[in-house]
Amino acid sequence: QLKDNTIVIVFGASGDLAKKKTYPALFGLYRNGYLPKDIHIVGYARTKMDDAEYHKRTTGYIKNPDNDPEVTAKIEEFKKLSTYVSGGYEDAPSFQNLTKHLESIEANYKGGDVNRIFYLALPPSVFVPVGKHVRDNCYSSKGVNRIIIEKPFGKDLDSCRELLSSLKQSWTEDETFRIDHYLGKEMVKNILVLRFANVAMGSAWDKNSVSNVQITFKEPFGTEGRGGYFDEFGMIRDVLQNHLLQVLSILTMERPVSFASEDIRDEKVKVLRCIPPIERKDTLLGQYVAANGKPGYLDDDTVPKDSVCPTFAATTLWINNERWEGVPFILKAGKALNEAKVEIRVQFKDVAQGIFKDVSRNELVMRIQPSEAVYLKMNTKTPGLNFRAIPTEMDLTYKRRFTDTKIPEAYEALILDALKGDHSNFVRDDELDVAWKIFTPILHWIDGKDGPRPKPAPYPYGSRGPKELDAYIAKLGYKRSAEEYSWPTTSMS
C-alpha cells in the first residue's frame, strides 16, 4: 500500500462516472481510514469552475441519508484535501499547468517519494491523448506512477488492439489498471473462495454434474438519457463482453497456483482461450418497446429513430476443455426489465431415475446484487407422515449471516487495490484480446458488417424480456422446478 506522499488525480472530474462512482468511493475509503494519511485528490476537467462548485459536484452523490454529523464533518475534511484544475485534454501546456499544481502540493512533503495515481474517468475518444500527455508532462520522476482506465476498451478486436498499443507506448502493463467494476463486487470475489475452499463444491464443478449455467444481468430502467453512448455500443459490448465474461472466467477457470495476480489472470486467460467465437444461432436479441406508461428505446430522444441496437441479449458460450465440454453457459442481460438482479445460476443434472421421478434439479445460485446471497436449491422429504421430496433451499443471505459487516462498493475495493498495486481484480491486456476474439464476429454481424443488420425481438418495458427467451433457455437444457417453487419472501429481507 502506498503510504504518504500520494496524489490521486481524477480526469473527467466533472463527469458522471467521477461524481457517481469515483468520488463517493474515494470518500468511503477516506472515511474508513484506508487512504494514505496525507492523501490529496486533484480533479481535472475542461469545465471552468471554482472550488465551491467543484466540491458541490464531487460530494453530491455521497450518501448521508440520516444527516449523520460525523459523516458531514468527514465530508468537510474530505473537501479540504481535494482541489481542482481545469484544462484541455489534447494540449501539452494544460498538462504542464496541472503538474505545477501537483508540485505545489508536493512542496509540503517532508522528503521521500512522490506518488501519482492518474484515474481516467473519461470518454474513450480522449484515452490516448490524455494517456500520452500525462506520461510526457505529469509523470513523477521519483515514486510510483499508475494509470487507472475504464471501459470501453475498443469496440472490437482490432480497435482494442489499437487502443492498447497506443497506451502501451506511454505506460507499462505494470503501471496500468484497467477497471471492470464487476471484479470489485463482493460476490464476484467470493466465487474463488466458494469454489476452491470447499471440497463439496469443487467436486461437483464439471460437465459430469452440471447441466447448464446462466449468468444474468437485469436492470429495471432503460437508457434514459444515456442513449447516445448506448446506441453506439449495445447490450453485448456494454455488459456481456466485459462484466459477464469476467464472471464466467472466474467461475470456470482451473485452481490458480496462488492468489498472486498473475497466477489468477493466467488461469482466466487459459479458460477463455478454450471458448470459440459465439455463433449467431446461439444468440437472441431484443429491444424494449413502450409499455405501462414507460417509453420504448426508440422514444429516447438521444437514440436514432430506426435503431436496431439490442437492449437485451442472450447468448451461449461453450468451453472446449475436459472440464466443461458440452455445458452451455448462457449469458443474458437486458435493460428495462421487470427487476434489478444480477445472479449466477448453476443447474445440476437430474438424479438417477428409479426411486425418484420428477424431482427438481439442484441449483446453486450466487446472487451478486441486490442483497448478496448464496443458496442451494435441494430436495427434502416433506416433513411429517409423507415421503414426497419437495424443493427447498439452503440459504446464506449475507444481511442475516453477516449482520455487522458493511460490504464495500466495488469502486472502493478497486481503488484500494490500485493503491496497493494489486492487479488481481483488473483486466490484463491478453484477457481483453481473447474476450474480443469471442465476441467480435457476432458484433460485426449485429453492426451490419456482413449484411443486413439483425432485427431485435421487441419486448415490453418492465417485462422479463423477449417472449422467445423461455424456449431459448429450455432448448439448452434448463429445467424449471418440477414443483411450483418460490423463494420465501423473508429470505430476501
In the bound state with ligand BG6, the residue whose beta carbon lies nearer, of 239 and 309, is: 239
Strand partners, 284: 314
- Tell me how far, at minimum, the Cβ of 219 lies from ligand BG6, in Å: 6
- Tell me how far, at minimum, the Cβ of 369 lies from ligand BG6, in Å: 6
Strand partners, 365: 345, 375
**Cβ pair 444, 438 in contact under 8 A:** no
Q: For residues 273 and 254, what is the distance between their CA atoms, to the nearest angstrom?
A: 13
In the bound state with ligand BG6, the residue whose beta carbon lies nearer, of 184 and 328, is: 184
- Tell me how far, at minimum, the Cβ of 343 lies from ligand BG6, in Å: 12
Q: For residues 483 and 345, what is the distance between their CA atoms, to the nearest angstrom?
A: 18
- Tell me how far, at minimum, the Cβ of 60 lies from ligand BG6, in Å: 18
Strands 6-11 and 363-369 turn out to be unpaired
**Cβ pair 215, 332 in contact under 8 A:** yes
What is the Cα Rg of the chain in Å? 24
In the bound state with ligand BG6, the residue whose beta carbon lies nearer, of 18 and 114, is: 18
| Sheet containing 40-45, strands listed edge to edge, beginning at the edge strand earlier in sequence | 82-86, 40-45, 6-11, 115-120, 145-150, 176-179
In the bound state with ligand BG6, the residue whose beta carbon lies nearer, of 216 and 362, is: 216
Strand partners, 98: none
In the bound state with ligand BG6, the residue whose beta carbon lies nearer, of 138 and 247, is: 247
- Tell me how far, at minimum, the Cβ of 267 lies from ligand BG6, in Å: 24
- Tell me how far, at minimum, the Cβ of 160 lies from ligand BG6, in Å: 16
What does the angle CA 50 – CA 56 – CA 59 come to, to the nearest 5 degrees?
130
Task: Please report, in angstroms and rounded to a whole number, the separation of the first and last CA atoms in the chain.
Answer: 36
In the bound state with ligand BG6, the residue whose beta carbon lies nearer, of 132 and 181, is: 181
Strand partners, 42: 9, 83
* 238 scored as a contact of ligand BG6 (CB under 6 A): yes
Task: Show contacts with ligand BG6 in window 323-342 (CB under 6 A).
Answer: 342
Number of residues that bind ligand BG6 (CB under 6 A): 5
* 156 scored as a contact of ligand BG6 (CB under 6 A): no
Q: For residues 119 and 45, what is the distance between their CA atoms, to the nearest angstrom?
A: 12
Q: How far is CA 292 from CA 31, 295, 298, 309, 336, in A?
A: 42, 9, 16, 22, 12
Q: For residues 196 and 223, what is the distance between their CA atoms, to the nearest angstrom?
A: 38
The residue of the chain with the least Cβ separation from ligand BG6 equals 238
- Tell me how far, at minimum, the Cβ of 340 lies from ligand BG6, in Å: 8
> How many distinct helices (H) and strands (E) make up the chain?
17, 15
At position 487, the amino acid (one-letter code) is W
Task: Show contacts with ligand BG6 in window 164-193 (CB under 6 A).
Answer: 181
Record the cell numbers describing residue 121, joined without a space: 474517468
- Tell me how far, at minimum, the Cβ of 342 lies from ligand BG6, in Å: 6
**Cβ pair 262, 425 in contact under 8 A:** no
Record the cell numbers describing residue 130, joined without a space: 490524455
Q: For residues 2 and 480, what is the distance between their CA atoms, to the nearest angstrom?
A: 50
* Catalytic position from the list 40, 55, 133, 243: 243
Annotation marks residue 243 as catalytic: yes
Task: Show contacts with ligand BG6 in window 196-235 (CB under 6 A).
Answer: 219
In the bound state with ligand BG6, the residue whose beta carbon lies nearer, of 15 and 36, is: 15
Task: Map residues 342-361 to x or -, x wherever contact with ligand BG6 holds by CB under 6 A.
Answer: x-------------------
Helix axes 245-252 and 261-272, enclosed angle (nearest 10):
100
In the bound state with ligand BG6, the residue whose beta carbon lies nearer, of 170 and 216, is: 216
Kindly list the catalytic residues. Answer: 243
Interacting residues toward ligand BG6 by CB under 6 A? 181, 219, 238-239, 342
